[in-house]
Structure 1
């Protein structure tokens, strides 16, 4: 089978433009990895989850539920993303509201499968007939969790669970820094904000310590083991481990999103160039903010000190900076202190958070 056609079909299967039933008759022609990807989607559906899924989510299902080897199946899903994202068909596969257009697309893919031929121009013809109204409707529906404030700034609403932080900031915007000593829960908070944002906007989460599998398991635990709910929450959250790819991957998003780096001190490993490189990274991330993306940087703090470890430029660059400090009397609690507040007047202690289900912060 034409490899590009296989990748297109797998992507259509992942986002729900095709069903396993439609693809099954052609399965013998797929590569070994393609068959595993098909089984991953099918398994998620049997667990009660509904498309659209993400390539990351289906890959996790293949590894955890089907026993696939991450370093074998991972590159395949990366190829699927790289191939399809570069084509215009991704617009229809992910966002078209016109069911007739999707039916045309399904018929086109089925026809090309039968003929074992890939014709991108045929997809383009379907796409060019997709109305701008469809696109606007999709974007309008996605905006509900992002608050457009009077000053024109787009913010991520934090909800009742973080009420004082929500009241003080009106939501996450601009460039945030979340600092804390090891074990204070700063990464937990950054991930929680990412999951909140991912309901309606894409999130690129660069974790230089934990794998996507670990973060998935934490989210699953915080959602009482509900697989369907977990995959719905994470379908627009993309975990990455190589921040040097951030600008290319931001371009592939095609829209403004949330960019998270956890943590700034973990790049690079060469201590002789750490200060210079950290400053360069802060400048790069600040440019992303200027382009309309929201940026969150996790920063390691020195024990007993309030300053962000490594460079004062971290605090200088931030619009809003907080410190999580473990509570003296309860290991599951942390106090939040505002260290930087460019657009507000509150500094110092703000509130106390408690861990719920190990990986979720709520206000005491």
Structure 2
């Protein structure tokens, strides 16, 4: 896959430190060796060192050159506990409570990123998206000028003529259940910027709905229209248009009938779904029916990169998301 070769090349040229808080999970252990062997990142596994080493031995995983951080024995634990307490004391946090929370590998890994002991984090092989977002929002928080954390999938559809030679970005498919028009506009802008920086494509962003350019009236359509106008107002340099149905967004013949004056219709490579239900259903339909590779969900909007995995992910999926996270960390310089 050309995109992932490009991402791997970028990751290898500027090695970043990525923490994997699910350190004793089998796919994560296998992935850590692949990451090390391919020079994609410096990996730290979080968890009980004895358990990690025992499982690695059972799997035949070579841990040479891979770091292990055991929250129970780490000399950084006190630093992380005190920092977490300072971050959350206005919310009623106590030192005692912080000491228990930071021992959780997800919180420990997030604190590593916060204080600069790691450049990014990848989790989700066994934890839910909510499990990842909770410490992320409490500790890392959103980047300056960013109002909402969102996610995207890079969909690679073999043999497809749609999007960018079969590649499209779908957003938001994992984080925001029912974004407001303002949030939807922010998601569209963030995904367009991601498409440019990470995928090196000229984004053409379609704001999806069941209506195309006023063909139907409903409050959910109104939200997409308002989001489209807001996104255009905020970023007139981007090609963003809508509202439009999926076929009008990607099929030129349909676009010529339904949206003949649009610079995006028929040529869209970034698809913004109106809510999480549509986005989640949409990416899974394409993944299953078109035998597409779904890379992600990748988070955007955090002040430092932390990324999610599908719980059905393979070790190769973890390797690719770590490489993407490492490249995102390069952008944070």
**Do Structure 1 and Structure 2 share a fold, with TM-score over 0.5?**
no
TM-score where L is the length of structure 2: 0.31
Higher relative contact order (CA 8 A, sep 6+): 2
**Higher alpha-carbon Rg:** 1
Q: Which has the higher helix share?
A: 1
TM-score between the two structures when normalised by the length of structure 1: 0.29
